[in-house]
Amino acid sequence: MAIDWATVEHVARLARLALTDEERERFVGQLGRILEYCARLDAISIEGVPATSHVLPIVNVLREDLPAPCLSRDEVLAAAPAHEQGFFKVPRVLEAE
């Protein structure tokens, strides 16, 4: 499974990772080898086999619509890298997405 530099760069953007040149180079090789290994699955027939996203045979786990206590704002903001007037603060978000 060949994976090229541009793909690594694209995936890194999707994953919000700012890779160094050295990392990008390394991932091209390593991810390629891992995916090549994963391509072994192609030898297995999966004709008519359903996908398992979950092993438990349970459905409909629901909670009643009852309000529960919230965290205190001090606790909430204690972990924030930056906050202001009770809000979490981030570098400006472009309004039109």
The single-letter DSSP state of residue 93 is P
The reply on whether position 10 binds another protein by CB under 8 A is yes
Instruction: Report the residue from 4, 5, 17, 25 that binds another protein according to the rule CB under 8 A.
Output: 17
How far is Cα 4 from Cα 17, in angstroms, rounded to an integer?
A: 17
CB of 29 to another protein, least distance (A): 10
Segment 52-91, which members bind another protein (CB under 8 A)? 52-56, 58-71, 73, 75-82, 84-91
The reply on whether position 2 binds another protein by CB under 8 A is no
CB of 15 to another protein, least distance (A): 4
Map 11-57 to HEC letters. HHHHCCCCCCHHHHHHHHHHHHHHHHHHHHHHHCCCCCCCCCCCCCC
How far is Cα 47 from Cα 54, in angstroms, rounded to an integer?
A: 20
The reply on whether position 21 binds another protein by CB under 8 A is no
Instruction: Report the residue from 2, 6, 21, 93 that binds another protein according to the rule CB under 8 A.
Output: 93
